Amino acid sequence: MRRRVLFEVVAHKTEIVVLSLSGEKRGYVVIGIPEEQFRELNAKFPPQSPFAGQNPKVNEAIKDGISDEEADHIRRHLNLQRSTKLKFTFEGIAQHLVDEAKRKPSFVLNGKSFWVFRLS
């Protein structure tokens, strides 16, 4: 019997900090995107020079592309009320490295995988 695949293989992951509008840190979310979406973003935002590595605008596009429905799921996983307004930002070096072979995503939506981490 074949198992049904619930999500695509993740080609790229980025960690985003979840803040309240007042700036209080509420948690973290690691967003994994599939290969096709990653290729599209790299084509739209090519590296700034041959040795510069990935363009930071790729991660910004992923952050800016969080839909209202995805934000609702993030709120739920952080045990926040639906009316809680959120800001998403980057903090520099990622704190939550995710191995998708060992840890299943908190949820999968719109082809993206989301691992949500509450603050202790």
pLDDT value of position 8 = 64
Model confidence at 4: pLDDT above 60: no
| Ranges of each domain in the chain | 10-118
CA 105/CA 72 separation, integer angstroms: 16
Q: Mean of the per-residue pLDDT values for the chain?
A: 89
Model confidence at 19: pLDDT above 80: yes
What's the pLDDT tens digit per position in 36-95?
Answer: 999 999 999 998 877 878 889 999 999 999 999 999 999 999 999 999 999 999 987 778
DSSP string, 11-68: EEEEEEEEEETT--EEEEEEEEEEHHHHHHHHHHS--SSTTS-S-THHHHHHHHT--H
